[in-house]
Structure 1
Amino acid sequence: MKKAITFILLLVSFPTFSQNLRTESALYDGIGIIGYVDQGAFINFTGPNINSTYKNSKFILGMLPSLRFKKDRNIPRNTFVTPNLGVGFTYSYKMAAIQVPLYYNPKTATHNGEWNIGIGLGLRIEKWSK
């Protein structure tokens, strides 16, 4: 977990040495992502974040409001689709985007609470209109 956080911080801080970098915050960025985490899938759109733009690249660190899809094999069962809030790093170049999200699964009677790292691919929706 510490390695993942260190890696994300390095990726976000690396482009700050450039002279053409623009850093700002946003409530919504217009990026839709589909991915895999914890033996299930997720769909999310980037939420409140801090982002940096350099030419056609965009580096985003923020919250990820998501719908997670996972079949629960335990009894009693959870529903197949659950809303979730994650946090993670998103990199987009022109229309393509790749994301490394972190989601927390809370403690239950049989499992300890834990953070799960995932991977996702998506599109930068705001670029469609240009």
Structure 2
Amino acid sequence: MKNFFYAAGLLIFGLCFSQETSSKVKMSFFDGIAVVGYVDHGAFINFTGPNVSLTHKNVKFILGMLPSLRIKEDHSTGTKNSPIMPTLGAGLTMVYKKIAFQIPAYYNSKTADQNGSWKVGVGLGYSFK
């Protein structure tokens, strides 16, 4: 009887853990992806931050936060802002092999002459992992 339980346990274990998974959902704080791109008449440099990702074969889809440096010249009169500003965006990144394509969205806060609004951009990058 003891041998029967061992054999049944091995059979169940083998059936449960021998299946190949084709896609998986994973949460991560950093994926090793650097991206540069264009948004709202300026550039950005970011590294993917906390995110939820889905991997299917050679393609990885990432939806998450994008800690960034936005590079944009301030054309306003009077006191000017710094051309390089840290900001946080959100967006979708797709990685195929080592090439990353990104669609980020950044919020521009309200100023004296403009209402606050979301700006969507596009970026291209490299995955180090």
TM-score range (shorter-chain normalised) is 0.7 to 0.9
State the distance in 2 between where 1:102 and 1:72 align. 19
1:77 has 2:72 as partner: no
State the distance in 1 between where 2:55 and 2:32 align. 14
1:34 equivalent in structure 2? 36
Alignment of 1:49-68 (within 5 A): 49-68=51-70
**Alignment equivalent of 2:96, drawn from 88, 93, 98:** 93
- Give the unaligned 5+ runs of structure 1: 1-18
- Give the unaligned 5+ runs of structure 2: 1-20
Q: Would you say how many aligned residue pairs link Structure 1 and Structure 2?
A: 108
Three-state SS of the structure 2 residue aligned to 1:76 is coil
State the distance in 2 between where 1:56 and 1:66 align. 26
Q: Which runs of 4+ in 1 moved over 3 A?
A: none
State the distance in 1 between where 2:75 and 2:34 align. 29
Q: State TM-score, norm by structure 2.
A: 0.82
Larger Rg: 2
State the distance in 2 between where 1:60 and 1:95 align. 14
Q: Deviation of residue 55 (structure 1)?
A: 1.4
User: What's the % identity of the aligned pairs?
Assistant: 53
Three-state SS of the structure 1 residue aligned to 2:80 is coil
Q: State TM-score, norm by structure 1.
A: 0.81
Q: Deviation of residue 72 (structure 1)?
A: 0.3
State the distance in 1 between where 2:25 and 2:32 align. 17
**Alignment equivalent of 2:122, drawn from 119, 123, 128:** 119
Q: Deviation of residue 125 (structure 1)?
A: 1.0
1:7 equivalent in structure 2? none
RMSD: 0.8
1:90-122 deviation line (CA, Å, top 9, x unaligned): 000011010000000000111100000000000
2:6 equivalent in structure 1? none
